[in-house]
A and B are shown apart, each in its own frame.
Chain A
Amino acid sequence: MSVSDNFKIGVSFHSFAHEYLSFIWSFDEMMEKAAQLGGGIEIVGPSHHRSFPFVTPEFERTFKSAVDRFGLTPVSYGSYADPFMLPDRNLSPDELYDYTVPQIEGAAKLGFEVVRLQHFASVIAERLVPLAEKLKIKMGYELHVPLMIESARTQELLKQIETIESEYLGVIPDAGIFARSVSSRHVQEGRDMGVPENIIKAALDLWSKSVLIDEAIEKITAMGGDKRAITWIGVIWDTFGYSNPDDLKSIMKYVKHFHGKFFHIVDGDEPDLRYEELVHALMRYDYRGWVVSEYEGNTDDSFAIVQAHQDMIKRYMASFKG
């Protein structure tokens, strides 16, 4: 069987949240760091530029200047549907469309190859595809927990992608769907939020049995779990999924981009996500796009942990080639 190592490694600026939000690094400094972390970049719209959902001419200019100076590749722009931004109701499809169009136009202006869509955008996908085709920017639904490969919702999205049949619409799997366990930090966050120990234990038990979120919420509510417990469960079920990396085979033709989500690196490995199998699956099924490191955590040194993540991926690439 022929094997490819043609996928490229880059970094999502979400990884640098600590330094960025604590005013240790400016946006320009993150661009500089990215050049040493593979050179492919992903930015998060409402985190990394003002005037979201619009891209200002000023940001376009300064962004492109930094791309040139540091020799970067703008890989992916994280757009948002934000359907719950109004307190009394969800956004209508027309409102979603008006909110999404400037984000896609902005991403294209900045030179990105891919724009991440949330699955909420599926109701307007048919209207967005002609725009994406015109601007030559690929759109991908992020497959982020609870959207695992086998989830009913994911299957609906795949069906739509198959029907629309445009190379400008596909998916962006997030490594968080390939978890083997809930990280100890996320358990501690539940404690810090004031979720009682018996509720935490029950919730972890439900997670390990692959119980769906609605059923988990129902069971935890019946045990007396309050609004905080439900919010914590929402986070857990929105962070850790139980897809099998091997199932990437069935969707590989639709994969436009890949989020290398990770929470910890311990002894050179991600303890809660199945990276070895994941890297091997990406190679076995000949993925040719980018994997961007997407660190989610509170380290004091995001650069070092992203480097460790990328070293891990390279090590698994090498081990696959044997």
Chain B
Amino acid sequence: MQKRPKPKDRAFISDEPVRNACLDGKEGFIIKVRLTSYRALPLSCIEDISLSVDGRSISKDDMTFILNGERHALSDLAKLSHVWWWILDYAELFVASVGGLASGNHEIEGMLVTVEPYITAGRFSFFNSSKKQLAVAEVVS
């Protein structure tokens, strides 16, 4: 009998630890996120992404969406109908924040709003919210 692996959670906010990081010289932290559908979607199907950390809402201007190494401002996603978020790929949300996140656990709450572009009955928005307690990964140097 094969060992059955532990399932990876399918919620928007993944279970992966938060990492402090530096992007284009800006300090901040990275949260790994998943697409909540059952199928790949072009980024133009993302209507909204919102995030709060320890109850503090993050400004959209402070977030960068990173998919397979490519960086996108949230305000650009609507235009990206040729960039596909493959269903098994994790994406990252970089949050600009001086000093990053302090070590220990943090409450990360996020909402992904998508248009599932195929629904027979028409255009509908899907709200996928999730909340996780995530630790900050220890930096390996």
- Residue ranges of A at the interface with B (Cβ–Cβ < 8 Å): 14, 17-19, 21-24, 44-47, 50-52, 80-88, 118-119, 144-147, 193, 213, 227-228, 230-231, 234-235, 237-238
Contacts and interface: CB of A to CB of B under 8 A. Distances in A.
B73 interface: no
A228 B127 contact: yes
B115 A84 contact: yes
A82 B4 contact: no
For chain B, the bracket of interface size reads 20 to 34
Given A24-B5, A234-B122, A85 B42 contact: yes
Nearest to A230: B124
Contacts of A228: 127
B121 interface: yes
Given A84-B115, A87-B115, A21 B121 contact: no
Given A80-B39, A235-B124, 5 more contacts: A46-B87, A80-B118, A83-B117, A85-B115, A87-B78
29 contacts: A14-B38, A21-B10, A21-B87, A22-B10, A23-B7, A23-B8, A23-B88, A24-B4, A24-B7, A47-B40, A52-B84, A82-B118, A84-B123, A85-B44, A85-B45, A85-B115, A87-B115, A118-B118, A118-B120, A119-B120, A213-B121, A227-B125, A234-B119, A234-B122, A234-B124, A235-B124, A237-B121, A238-B119, A238-B120
B81 interface: yes
A204 B16 CA distance: 39
Contacts of B115: 84-85, 87
Contact of B39 (A47, A144, A231, A234): A47
Task: Kindly name the residue among B4, B81, B84, B121 whose own CB sees the greatest number of chain A CB atoms within 10 A.
Answer: B121
Interface string B122-134: 1111110000000
Given A17-B38, A44-B39, A46-B40, A22 B7 contact: yes
Given A86-B81, A234-B122, A193 B127 contact: yes
Contact of A46 (B39, B78, B126): B39
Interface in B95-119: 115, 117-119
Contacts of B86: 50
B47 interface: yes
Given A85-B81, A86-B81, A21 B122 contact: no
A103 to B, nearest CB: 12
Nearest to B127: A228
A135 B25 CA distance: 53
A86 B44 contact: yes
B117 A84 contact: yes
Contacts of B121: 146, 213, 234, 237-238
A54 B78 CA distance: 22
Interface string B1-38: 00011011110000000000000000000000000001
Contacts of B7: 18-19, 22-24
Nearest to A85: B117
A235 B78 CA distance: 24
A24 B8 CA distance: 8
A83 B44 CA distance: 12
Contacts of A231: 124-127
